[in-house]
Amino acid sequence: KRLCFSFSLYAIFAVLLVASMFPTSATAQATFTAQVRGVVQDTSKAVVPRATVTITNDGTQVPEKTTTDELGRYIFNGLAPASYTVKVEVSGFKTVVRSNVVLRVGQQIDLDFTLELGEITSTVEVTAESTLLNSVSGALGTEVTNRYIIDMPLAGRGITELAYLAPGTTEVPGMGISMLGGTTFTSNGQRYGTAEFRADGALTSSPEGGEGGNTTVKYQPLIENVQEFKLQNNNFSAEFGNNGGTVVNIVTKSGTNEFHGSGWYFFQRPQFDANSFFANRDGEGKGDYAHDQYGASVGGPIIKKKTFFFTDFEKTRDRSPNLIVSTVPTDLQKAGDFSQTFNADGTLQQIFNPNAGHYDADGNWIREPFAGNKIPSNLLDPVAMKIMNLYPAPTQAGDPITGRNNFTKNVIGSSPGYHYDFKIDHVFTDKSRAFVRYGIIHYLDDQPAGSSVIQGSTTDRTNIHNAVISYDWIPSPSILWTSRLGVDRFHEQRILQDFDAGSVGLPPILGENSGLKRLPAFEFDGYQSIVGSSCADTVEAHTQWMYSSSLSKVIRGHNLKFGGEQRQFFNNFWQPCDPNGAFFFGRGETGQDPFNPNASQGNAIASLLAGWPNDASMGTTPPTSNKSKDTGFFIQDDWKLTKRLTLNIGLRYEWSTPYTERFDRLSGSDFSGDSGIDVPGLGRIHGVNRLADSEKRTISSDRNNFGPRLGFAFRLNEKTVLRGGGGVYYGFNPHTNFQYVSPAWVRPVNFVFSKDGGVSRFATLSNPLPNGLGPPPGPKYGLLDRWGFSNSNNLSDTFRNAEIYQWSLGIQRELPGNVLIDVNYSANHSTHLPDNDDLARNKNFVSREDREKWGSRGLNEQIPNPFQYLFQGPDAIFNEPTSLYNDPTLRRQLLLRPFPQFSGSFRGSPAFDAIVNYHSLQVRFEKRYSYGLNFTGQYTFSKLIDTSSEGLNAWIGDIWAGQTQDPTNRKAEKSVGSSDTPQRLAFAVSYDLPVGRAKRFGNNMNRVADAIVGGWKINSFVTFQSGNPISVSMGDFSRLANGRQRPNVSGDPRGVDIKAVVDGRGDPKFNFFNVSAFSDPGDQIPGNAPRYFSKLRTDGINNMNTVKPLAAMSSARSTPKSTVPEAVKWDYGLCSETKS
């Protein structure tokens, strides 16, 4: 709960002062300010030197002045996105004034002036709007202005939903933009959860607190506080780095020279919402829920034309429904009676006694069936019977054959909170200015215990702080020096209610090391899980500091910029996963043959009642305190080679320093290290654990990350620009932090209920640890740490940053009516991406030859244990009573692995071997406001191929779908990626109806009529997106040693269209795929099915959100909005994986 370190206010200002004094050695802002440059000439095209150019912010009325040089050039740097007025004056010429010069986030525009001879007191007004074309950069990006931010109907009123208006961005169905706080969209073929977010140039995205391989956005400004934002996803500026090339720059509002304020109240009730498809199908109501958001904002001058403020406050009250649709045991099943339990084809789901069996003539262990398909009362496990009492009774009959989905319930969660921001801007002189912004978000989240059926709730308390201090110094019009300090702070605490595990007959040894009173997690194949304490208790406190400085200098046609940035991430994290145990029950334990499961046999609830888990584990997890750093330096030159051609040339160097732990409780896997021990029959054993110490606290950094960038913009004519370029980027640091210390301090335990693969039982639910449980060993075994157990290290010296090569080529065309069309080919090729799949990063797997030679029975056969002397007897080194290596025999599979000293995996850093190829046609279209209409949007046609899709953080997406089938054949993992979406169309449109006073219809109507029928407008946000590919795997995990077996495929796997089912034209069983196209590849044989099917996809996205504000009656107005969310929608949920 403590901060790793803290800064006083004095330290903050000291760092800022040092950054200002030493710009090149400090470490660069990500640009959100704009630049205006141009040439002043007379009507004969001769340049006009020494002309005075003044640019004035229309909101603050603060002017800036400069003088043209001998070539008639002028430049203004560091301008806040806003509307400006530019005035040019010089003796002998008429003064020219150009108004409504609108600058956007990070925009660079050329604004040339032509002066007419005449008196300086004569003024020429220029009202033409600035061009929509980008003629100064090859970077791809989309600006979203305040008009769309305020007008569009946004779910939850979060601005990041508008990121989908950028070409190349796609949604991840079933997750939404808010999961992990706002970065779980894909962009330009990169993985979800890797984009970088900034507000006013300071980072708001940070590493995800648990596993660190993905970004999360905890702080997001209120939409009333956002001036505009820009998403760049093929970005050629060298100042951006530490991500795959997607950056979202948000600019918050500043006060102006006049006072302005606003107030709002949004509410949602079930009377105005449609019910979900499945709730309607199951006869469930919408539930009693309410959502209220209300607040106010105000901004204005503290000292006119000098100091300005803007502040806002919002209160949220949320009672939201969560429909649980699941399967719970029937009264007959709870009593051990499975005589009425059927498979989908109507056959009896026969169960067999795991405690009784015989060997047949071929040496196969065959279990005896239960008479009448009923478990006798004397064989019912007493612990299991008490666990059965935790289940509620079914609420409906469920499927007429299988009885599935016999339980539905609407539960209500409560999430009150508040959000507060303030920002102060100050102009010291015409050469220096600064601002400070601070925001805080606080909320509670009271929810029923996950999706569990157990009564009770969790309370999640969260506090978020985000602040930035920025200082600009402009010693001359051609020089801009910016220094910035930002901090992002997040604190979350979620504690489960205590539960006495002894009340269901479980022994107190399960809580011996954790000290927590929790119910273990019980998970079942085909039934509602009892979640218990699985990764629920959480205390997280992260702090991210970012400090940067950059210097811009214009030298003739060169706009040079160089600088650097460093971010330090401190993370205190405690989230014990399964501190009191987790038990998984499958069907195979009550099937006939434990080594050759039959999909029509066995039942997970029967396996529980018999007391036979398929798998069980437990871990004692102490809090961890991590620190990591990312550092980068860059130089960039935007070179205006001619009036028509601009080159963007840059170079970036960056490196990531992997995390250290405050108390050095880390270790790294050394796969070639010599243990110094010779084991009889195996020889010298290699593969050791290297524990961190004061000499070497972490693994080595990746120090060769040079990223060249090249872009161009060529103006073909006044209405057409050709743009393109390419660059090298390096992926987000996968080792910013990790939620666990080294396994030496964790004591992960794998319960062993059978030592021979299911023939005989070793442990029971009432006594799951017959040999006892000792405390974590810590560093006492040194290099030999984790012998006799799995070694699930998170570190090894294979660490590196992903390499991402991006390129694009496109053309922009400005059409009549203020319309822009931007067509681009955009692509990337990424290598060395992290693959967090345990099966991919594990180095301790059985070879393909041994797997096929021995089969499942041979691999699970017990043979003499050559390691026993190290665990038992006078020469014993280890005192580990829970290790299998105390026994005289071991399964053959353990001794066939390359690192037989470990009973399971031997892993380190993620496998940096994933590859991504992405190609797309991206079309962006935009219409600036005129005749009451404005719109912006995108169409993307793309293809994404990869060898791994899930990234480092396993719970983003599906932890199982798409896992490695055969670690000895990684080439077979190549397929379409899980986020491949061939087509996407998204656009936002706003239209002022031409009815009312001063409008086309009703121009002269009276004010009363105008108040009723005039001033109406319609705003709509429309999305169409293809479905995502589906993964199909075999239901039994043990059929392929060290792999996730997939089926064989013959024929077309596609099934019925779910829309046809809804319309009454299809199979009411909702088969997404053709079951007959899949077959069992056989024991220990990989199937030929791809990792993801391109032809087998989830339902797509078809949404239209519409809002209709009422007429505005005055400048001080109330604007009620009638919102029709998802007025057109057919989306029945995400089926990311199926089991055959």
Q: For residue range 133-177, what is the model confidence (pLDDT) as tens digits?
A: 888 888 888 888 888 888 887 766 777 788 889 999 988 654 443
Tell me the fold of 31-126: Immunoglobulin-like (2.60.40)
Which residue(s) pair with 1054 in the sheet?
A: 1073
Q: Average of pLDDT values for 73-78?
A: 89
Pairwise CA distance, residues 58 & 1128, whole Å: 41
DSSP for 1053-1121, please give it: -B---HHHHHTTSS-TT--SB-GGGEE---TT------SSEEEEE---EEEEEEEEEPPP-SSS----E
Reply yes or no on whether the pLDDT at 1101 is more than 80: yes
* Structure tokens belonging to residue 732: 């987000």
Q: For residue range 741-799, what is the model confidence (pLDDT) as tens digits?
A: 888 888 778 888 888 888 888 999 999 988 888 788 889 999 999 999 988 888 888 78
State the greatest distance between any 2 C-alpha atoms of the chain, in Å, as a whole number.
Answer: 113
* Band (453; pLDDT cuts 50, 70, 90): very low
Q: For residue range 835-869, what is the model confidence (pLDDT) as tens digits?
A: 766 666 788 889 989 988 998 889 989 999 999 99
For 503, list phi and psi in degrees, rounded to 5. -70, -20
Q: Average of pLDDT values for 302-320?
A: 92
Q: How far is CA 759 from CA 356, 461, 745, 751, 1060, in A?
A: 9, 48, 34, 16, 47
pLDDT score, position 282: 62
Pairwise CA distance, residues 241 & 730, whole Å: 7
Q: How far is CA 657 from CA 26, 569, 662, 702, 831, in A?
A: 18, 11, 15, 8, 20
* Structure tokens belonging to residue 856: 């499942």
Q: Average of pLDDT values for 1100-1128?
A: 55
Q: Average of pLDDT values for 647-653?
A: 95
Which residue(s) pair with 577 in the sheet?
A: 534
Q: Average of pLDDT values for 58-68?
A: 92
Reply yes or no on whether the pLDDT at 1103 is more than 60: yes
CA–centroid distance for 635 within its chain: 30
- Annotated domain spans of the chain: 31-126
Q: For residue range 506-523, what is the model confidence (pLDDT) as tens digits?
A: 998 888 777 788 888 888
- Minimum mean pLDDT range among 495-499, 700-704, 1104-1108: 1104-1108
* Structure tokens belonging to residue 440: 């805080």
| Of the candidates 168, 214, 171, the residue with the CA atom closest to the CA atom of residue 834 | 214
| Of the candidates 321, 286, 287, 316, the residue with the CA atom closest to the CA atom of residue 156 | 316
pLDDT score, position 154: 74
